[in-house]
């Protein structure tokens, strides 16, 4: 029998309602702390699409949006190579850039992105991540705003995939081990 998406989920970590509430809080907090400076949101596709979509609608302030495509090739969790797959449409020089990520795991992607963006002379550079998995960190990098801190588990949903699947789950769940590791 083919897998049904929800049947592959071991347990739900954050429900749709919990996510909506937390993202609403984050949006309001960011607007308040930016204090009238218009944020320029740069979202790292593809995983952050649901998050940016909800977050920007929770930000009652003038803002602008751009997309950055980044792909990481990690042979092991401790080594990897990151490259740009889609560059920004416009210059960020002198702008208040807020990078929007779905998850920080090893930190490899974000540290590459921050190094790259810093060279373009933004007025300020901050990071919001929906999920933070500190246990995965190999590269020391932190977000300024974090939706939820998660345990060292394989999570899917709300943009996060396994083999490009499950991004469309409205909640965040832990994937059953036998889905990605095969039967024990
Ligand atoms: C995922 C996620 C982050 C990155 C985090 O992207 O969206 O960008 O990995 O992991 P790291 O901290 O270990 O670098 P992925 O390369 O899977 O692409 P996707 O967003 O298209 O799913």
For residue 161, being part of any structural domain is answered with no
User: How many A from CA of 88 to the centre of ligand 1?
Assistant: 18
Q: How many CB atoms within 10 Å of residue 72?
A: 13
Which domain does 144 fall in, by range?
17-151
C-alpha dist (Å) from residue 49 to 15, 69, 131: 18, 12, 14
Q: Which residues are catalytic?
A: 105
For residue 159, being part of any structural domain is answered with no
For residue 43, being part of any structural domain is answered with yes
For residue 88, being part of any structural domain is answered with yes
Cα dihedral value 25, 136, 115, 145, nearest 10 = 10
Average pLDDT of the residues of the chain: 93
Domain tally for the chain? 1
Confidence grade of residue 5 (pLDDT, cut at 50, 70, 90): confident
pTM of the shown model: 0.93
For residue 163, being part of any structural domain is answered with no
User: How many A from CA of 157 to the centre of ligand 1?
Assistant: 13
Q: What is the mean pLDDT of residues 104-128?
A: 97
pLDDT tens for each residue of 75-86:
444 457 889 999
Question: Hey, which of 102, 131, 167 would you mutate to test ligand 1's pocket, going by the most ligand atoms within 8 Å of its Cβ?
Answer: 102
Quick check: helix, strand or coil at residue 37?
Answer: coil
Question: What residue owns the CA closest to ligand 1's atom 22?
Answer: 47
Question: What residue owns the CA closest to ligand 1's atom 6?
Answer: 47
For residue 84, being part of any structural domain is answered with yes
pLDDT at 73 over 80: no
User: The domain spanning residue 88 has which CATH number?
Assistant: 3.40.50.2020
Q: Is 91 left (phi over 0), alpha (psi -120 to 50) or beta?
A: beta
User: How many A from CA of 144 to the centre of ligand 1?
Assistant: 18
Is ligand 1 within 6 A of the CB of residue 72? yes
pLDDT tens for each residue of 138-168:
889 999 999 999 999 999 999 999 999 999 9
For residue 176, being part of any structural domain is answered with no
pLDDT at 2 over 60: no
For residue 146, being part of any structural domain is answered with yes
């Amino acid at each position: 029998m083919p897998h049904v998406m929800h049947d592959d989920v071991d347990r739900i970590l954050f429900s749709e309602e919990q996510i909506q509430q937390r993202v609403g809080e984050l949006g309001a907090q960011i607007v308040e702390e930016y204090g009238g400076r218009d944020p320029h949101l740069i979202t790292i596709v593809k995983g952050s699409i649901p998050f940016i979509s909800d977050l920007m609608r929770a930000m009652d302030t003038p803002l602008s949006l751009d997309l950055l495509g980044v792909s990481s090739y990690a042979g092991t969790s401790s080594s990897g190579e990151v490259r740009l797959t889609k560059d920004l449409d416009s210059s960020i020089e002198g702008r208040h850039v807020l990078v929007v990520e779905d998850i920080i795991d090893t930190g490899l992607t974000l540290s590459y992105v921050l190094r790259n963006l810093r060279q373009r002379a933004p007025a300020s550079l901050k990071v919001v991540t929906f999920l933070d998995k500190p246990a995965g960190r190999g590269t020391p990098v932190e977000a300024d705003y974090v939706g939820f801190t998660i345990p060292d588990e394989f999570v899917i949903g709300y943009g996060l995939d396994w083999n490009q699947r499950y991004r469309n789950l409205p909640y965040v769940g832990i994937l059953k081990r036998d889905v990605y590791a095969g039967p024990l």
